[in-house]
Structure 1
Amino acid sequence: MNLNKPSKELLDILHLTQEKLLTAERIKFEKNIEWRRKMIPDGPGIYALFEKNNKLLYIGESGSLRERMGEINRTVNHSFRKQIDHIRFNGVKSSKKYNSEVETKLDKFFDEEIYVSFVEVYFGRLEIEEFMISNHQMFLTNSFKKRKFKTVMDYLRDFK
């Protein structure tokens, strides 16, 4: 057994989980705790954010999907919201909260446009996330520079 390369079974799991996430029910994002309690499991997993036209925007992973859905709508807590402001509203990337006008635009965008799907995953979330981001990078707002694709993607390229 070569532990430096993923097995066919591991590659199958990566592809299967990707398919499950991309075909999972898309739930309209809401900015309230009752929605999170009712619709989002508290366990670990990977998630995808879509526009209402089914355009894939973002892929992420979290130790708690429910908590992440609470964080995602706060500018200081999540890069997706910052990226959307930069891409859609020509805002300046910031690590802080934007002025109230920009925050209002972002809230409206989330209220009208954002849908989420998720798959609970208890082991290998980061590898699945990296695999999916690398497969869909040209469509995503995920920051490529922050990722460490070399670990997973180099092995996948070598696996034939």
Structure 2
Amino acid sequence: MTDIDIDTDGFEDVLSDFEQLENDVAGDDTWLIGTGVEYAIFLESGTRDMDPKPFLQPVVNEVNALGVRGFLARHTRVDIADLDDADALVKALATGMERRIKEIITIKGLIDTGTLRASIKAFKNGTPSDLLTEDDVDPVAEAGVEVGV
């Protein structure tokens, strides 16, 4: 991790050192975690005919409740002390969240064909257009097999 060296001789020095520390630990990477499966929003939020079965929000709640260090300790094999920079930390958190979302989908029995679980993915510097849809993960669609009467 980053070494922290803060000069406490004066208020201006402390502010300057904190700004430098922020620049030192700031990373360039962002991660997008989610799914492009159309029915996912209805499971997550519910409808007027169906109670919500959230699988994304509980993971965000866990990260908030446990903190990043606690979440990583509970749901990954990553020791935060072994990470070299902010980008490595964010990658570990994103992949841990991806794994945890898939666990919740399994626990709640939200797998009908496995499409939803297979579509959950963490993308480095991703955009919503990167999210996987049913067609991206459906084995029947990939094989080109048409189903019909």
Q: TM-score, normalised by structure 1?
A: 0.25
Higher strand share: 1
Q: Which has the larger radius of gyration?
A: 2
Q: TM-score, normalised by structure 2?
A: 0.27
